[in-house]
A and B are shown apart, each in its own frame.
Chain A
Amino acid sequence: MEELSQHIANAIILGSSYAILGIGLTLIFGIMRVVNFTHGELYALGGYAAYMVSTVLGLNFFLGLPVSILVGALVGAAIEFILLRRIRTSDMDTGMLVMIGAGIIILNSIQLIWGGVAKSVNTPFSDVPVVVGPVSVSSLRLFVLVAALVLIAATYFLINRTKLGKAMRATFQDPDVASLMGVNIGVIYTATFAIGSALAAAAGALLGPVFLVTPSMGNMAALKAFAIVILGGLGSIPGATIGGFILAFSEEMGAGYISSGYRDAMGFLIIIMVLLIKPTGLFARSERVG
């Protein structure tokens, strides 16, 4: 029983970060219909930004998160403005290839700058865990949970209660009509990519200190983000949020009770099952076809 509560605690904390990762991708995927293969690399960039702030420059650890968000937003906006804008009229395949290329460039730049050795991010939290009954959690992970929940709430607020968010939702429903209504689609797309990438970077800045920061940390993150988006449904923020938690729970329970070696495979299992049973995802919105 105590093992179970430990697994549940682990899953909730991991799920919150996965949720951010998924929300970022679902916004880009949903609104822009771009298969964003740079999402994982932005996650890694966020981790390295936190590393630079905390370990290399020795600044306040809590500065790492806002810096990563800023870095993610800027790099995301740059990718959209420089690369995607030019191929917006092309088909989805072109977008995919361009994103793969951009992802490879970012990954190798990270490797060139920081090398292949794993880096650890200094945190002000002690190694002594917070113990509540049978559950033991590090203070760092508690911070991650709180920060992630705050970011999820902020994103929800942005999308549902601001004018920018309204414009984004309109663009998601129908870009042509939104454009007719006076929405500057170009700005919306740049903003969407920037926000999505900023969220990926934030997830990296939160999970980087928990684990280790390596150049290839984005690979697994990207795959899990896709699993979450497919599970939750394209463009659905509640879907991505719940999808993130479902993924974390399947990983924890699967690793704890079925097979620890197949932990990361749980995400793929989910993709397969969702595509077989309900391909549009759990919270799919009705999409306009054509």
Chain B
Amino acid sequence: MKKASLLRILGSTVIVFTAWSTMAAAQSIKIGVIEPLTGAFAASGNYVTNGAKIAAEEINAEGGVLGQKLELIIEDNKSNPTEAAAVAEKLLVSDKVPVLMGAWGSSLTLAVMPKLAEYKVPMLVETSAATKITSLGNPYVFRTAPTSVMEADFFKDKIDAFKLKKVDFLVVNNDWGRGTVDDFKKMFKTKGVTVGLVETIDPAAQDISAQLAKMKSSDADTLFVTAAVEQLTLVFKQAAALGFKKPIITTGGSQNPDQLIAQAGATADGTMHLTTFTPWVPEATAFPALTTKYVEAWAKRGYAFPGVTESFRGYDAIRVIAAAIKGAGKAEPEAIRAALWKVNLDGLVGKITFAKLGPKGAESGQSTPEFRVLKIENGKISVVKN
């Protein structure tokens, strides 16, 4: 074949391909997803992303939104705030997504938030619990996950049930952990419960025995732990190795009890966990039929069951975003933002609707899920009723 015609064929193929893919892209509504797919929070980030994918697939199977397919553009924030801000910039500038979901960890989400205000694009916060995310006054933030204040509020009435008189805190050293301590401390003060030791763990730390040795010799009656599932595993194992005997209650919603049982084994027995979704007991969830349907959809794709306890957040988040896009009538950031305020959806964690939170004129949207307390005993998970 002559060189010139070969070049021509190659060139036209490239042009046609580019045009075709741009055309195909124009047919879909993009949603930017920022999650930790690698790094310290990789397990949770992957679960949430898979949950989001299931929601997108289900919605697309039913015809999509506004006649177009949803396309998730998934970026890895590597469990690192700097990286989270960088990929947010990429999604907003390069991919021009009209709406985002993310970024899992509170520090990661806080790193992305300035970009939202800069580019005027709303983001659905699905996991982060630090209260200041929706109280700082960023009108582009809508959160379906509970705040640590809500968690503390839930415990207000449970103090007698759990016999709390003096508590210690062992938290991961970031906005999430430190925010939890602040909110719980305020609540406990109003109820006359003393807070003893407050120790922190570096997010990437694996050796927690120094902090636990201190906790062991403290005179508190209960230990509250706020950390992601990997560090919780390490806390339980190392606590058992030190002969730590006090009751442990975990908060934050990233506990993943199945993974804890699998990796921490018998050292997880007796621990209690504050969470919002209890897929092991569908009857105890807000909408049992919805729960069962989701658990089946998850299993059908070959994912292991433990992931359900975190992936539901991605699932709920994408469904909320889809409802907002539908309500907005167009895939434009400002319209979607306005439509998010009007969303009223049955989610896996309960009714999802956004209330105003934060300084007047710049409120963020915050939804209030329902809480449950789980207990692990002999490798089994049960919902604590009281």
**Interface residues of A, Cβ cutoff 8 Å to B:** 2-3, 6-7, 10, 14, 111, 115-118, 120, 127-129, 131, 136-138, 141, 211-212, 214-217, 219-220, 251-252, 255-256, 260-264
Partner of B263, one of A7, A141, A212: A212
B contact residues around A217 at 8 Å (CB): 206
B201 vs chain A, min Cβ distance (A): 7
A115 vs chain B, min Cβ distance (A): 7
Q: Is the CB of B202 within 8 A of A263?
A: yes
A contact residues around B241 at 8 Å (CB): 127, 129, 136-138, 141
B3 CB–A CB distance under 8 Å? no
B43 CB–A CB distance under 8 Å? yes
Within 8 A of A (CB), among B256-304: 262-263, 265-267
Also in contact, A256 and B46, with CB within 8 A (given A137-B241, A263-B202):
no
The 5 closest A-B pairs by CB, nearest first: A116-B42, A255-B210, A211-B206, A138-B241, A261-B200
B358 vs chain A, min Cβ distance (A): 29
Also in contact, A6 and B242, with CB within 8 A (given A116-B38, A256-B213, A263-B207):
yes
**Interface residues of B, Cβ cutoff 8 Å to A:** 37-40, 42-43, 45-46, 173, 199-202, 204-207, 209-211, 213-214, 216-217, 230, 233-234, 237, 240-243, 262-263, 265-267
> What are 13 pairs between A and B in contact, CB < 8 Å?
A10-B213, A116-B39, A116-B46, A120-B262, A138-B237, A211-B207, A214-B40, A215-B38, A255-B210, A256-B211, A256-B214, A260-B211, A262-B202
Assembled-state Cα–Cα distance A31/B16 (Å): 58
Max chain A CB contacts within 10 Å: which of B173, B209, B263?
B209
A contact residues around B267 at 8 Å (CB): 127
A contact residues around B243 at 8 Å (CB): 129, 131, 136
A3 vs chain B, min Cβ distance (A): 5
Q: Is the CB of A127 within 8 A of B237?
A: yes
Also in contact, A260 and B200, with CB within 8 A (given A10-B213, A116-B42, A255-B210):
yes
- Determine the residue in chain B with the shortest Cβ distance to A13: B209
- Determine the residue in chain A with the shortest Cβ distance to B38: A116
Q: Is the CB of B46 within 8 A of A117?
A: yes
Number of cross-chain contacts by CB at 8 Å: 106
Q: Is the CB of B205 within 8 A of A264?
A: yes
Assembled-state Cα–Cα distance A128/B242 (Å): 9
Q: Is the CB of A264 within 8 A of B38?
A: no
Also in contact, A2 and B242, with CB within 8 A (given A118-B43, A264-B204):
no
- Determine the residue in chain A with the shortest Cβ distance to B236: A127
A contact residues around B45 at 8 Å (CB): 116
- Determine the residue in chain A with the shortest Cβ distance to B170: A260
Assembled-state Cα–Cα distance A214/B267 (Å): 20
A279 vs chain B, min Cβ distance (A): 28
Also in contact, A216 and B201, with CB within 8 A (given A118-B230, A127-B241, A136-B242):
no
- Determine the residue in chain A with the shortest Cβ distance to B229: A118
Q: Is the CB of A127 within 8 A of B266?
A: yes
Assembled-state Cα–Cα distance A10/B173 (Å): 22
Q: Is the CB of B209 within 8 A of A10?
A: yes
A256 vs chain B, min Cβ distance (A): 4
